[in-house]
Amino acid sequence: MTNVLWLQGGACSGDTMSFLNAEEPTACDLLADFGFNLLWHPSLGVELGDNLQALLWDCVSGKTPVDILVFEGTVVNAPDGTGEWNRFAHRPMKEWLTDLVKVAKFIVAVGDCASWGGIPAMEPNPSESQGLQFLKRQKGGFLGQDFISQGGLPVINIPGCPAHPDWISQILVAIATGRIGDIDLDELHRPKTFFSTFTQTGCTRNDHFAYRASTQEFGDRTGCLFYDLGCRGPMTHSSCNRVLWNRVSSKTRAGMPCLGCTEPEFPFYDLKPGTVFKTQTMLGAPKDLPTGVNKKDYALLTVVAKNTAPEWTDEEFFTV
C-alpha cells in the first residue's frame, strides 16, 4: 500500500483536472491495480471536513506514513508573510508543508506553480509566491536548494500548465513500484524520460519547419506555427508530441502554438498584448531561435530552405 497525500497551494486545480484524465495508467488504476491509498485530495477528499487537521497531524507525527507528498499550486508567502490559509486544516499551507516534507518519503511538484512559481510568481509577485525548490529558473524556492527528501531525492518536478496527465500517473507508479531510481532528473529536477526532448520532437509540422513554410491562422492545416504564431516547440522541453494528450492529439497537431509552459520562464513576455501568439522578431529573424542554432546559420538556412521548398508544403497534411 502506497500512501499518497495531495495538497494544493495557490492553484486553479488545472493539474487535478488533467490528472483525472490520465489514461496509462488511469487515476482509478492507481487505486485498484497499484495499491495507492489516497489519504487526502482537495477535490476528491472533501468528505474528511474538519478531520483533515487530525489526519495531517497524524502524518506529521509519523502515525500515518506519507510515501508520496504531491503538491499542486504555488507556495504563497503573503500577505504579510502569513501564506495561504488552509480552510480545511485551519493553518497556513506553508506551515503544513514545512512539517510534512520532513516525514514524506518522496515529494512531487505537479504543474508550473508547484515547480517554479508559475503565473502567480510573475513580477512584481505581490504574493511572494514560490515553487517548492525553484523560483523560476533560480534554484532554492520554498524548501531551499539543498533539500533532499527521506527517499534521497530532491523535489521531483512535473511542470506544465497543466502537466500532462500521463506524466503524473507514470511517475507516481515508478515511485510506488520502486523504479524511481531508474529515472534520471535533469538540472531542473524534471524526469528526463519526459523532458529530455523538445515539444517539436514528433510534431507533424516538422517538414514545414525545415522548409520555412509558415502558417498565419490558428487551426490551419498547412505550414509551421513557429515563424509567425510564436510557437515555442523548438525551444521547449516536453514530450507532448511523443506522449499525445488523451493518446489523440497535441497543441501543434490541432493548429495551436506551443506556449512553452514546461519551462521556468513561462509565461513568456509576461502575456503582454501583441506578444502572445505572435513571433517576436528582430531584423526579420525570430528573437528566440531553436535551441542550438545561432543567428548567422539561421539566416543562411532560411534562404536555402525557402528557395528549395517543394509544392506540397502548401498542401493540407491532414485528411478529413
pLDDT truncated to tens, each residue of the chain (320 aa)? Answer: 899 999 999 989 999 999 999 988 888 888 778 889 999 988 876 565 568 888 999 999 999 999 999 999 999 987 665 666 666 567 888 999 999 999 999 999 999 999 999 999 998 998 899 999 999 999 999 999 999 999 999 999 999 999 999 999 999 999 999 887 778 999 999 999 999 999 999 999 988 888 888 898 898 888 899 988 999 999 999 999 999 998 889 999 999 999 999 999 999 877 777 777 888 876 667 777 787 777 766 766 666 666 666 666 666 665 54
pLDDT in the model for residue 320: 41
Beta bridge partners of 70: 6, 108
**Domain ranges (residues) in the chain:** 2-195, 206-313
Instruction: Please give the DSSP secondary-structure letter assigned to residue 124.
Output: T
How far, in Å, CA of 89 to CA of 51, rounded?
Answer: 8
Angle between helices 51-61 and 93-100 (to 10 degrees): 30
How far, in Å, CA of 87 to CA of 207, rounded?
Answer: 52
Which cell goes with 73?
499550486
pLDDT in the model for residue 310: 66
Q: List C-alpha distances in Å: 289 to 65, 234, 276.
A: 47, 8, 16
Which cell goes with 279?
513571433
How far, in Å, CA of 283 to CA of 314, rounded?
Answer: 26
Could you tell me which residues come within 8 angstroms of residue 62 by beta carbon, excluding any fewer than 6 positions away?
103
Instruction: Please give the DSSP secondary-structure letter assigned to residue 70.
Output: E
How far, in Å, CA of 223 to CA of 135, rounded?
Answer: 36
**Domain 2-195 annotated CATH 3.40.50.700:** yes
**Given the DSSP bridges, would you call strands 36-40 and 91-92 parallel, antiparallel or unpaired?**
unpaired
Report field, pTM of the whole predicted structure over 0.95: no
Cis peptide bond upstream of 273, omega within 30: no
CATH class in words for 206-313: few secondary structures
pLDDT in the model for residue 199: 96
How far, in Å, CA of 265 to CA of 243, rounded?
Answer: 23
Q: How many residues does the chain have?
A: 320
CB 83 within 8 A of CB 93: yes
271: left (phi over 0), alpha (psi -120 to 50) or beta: left
234, amino acid identity: P
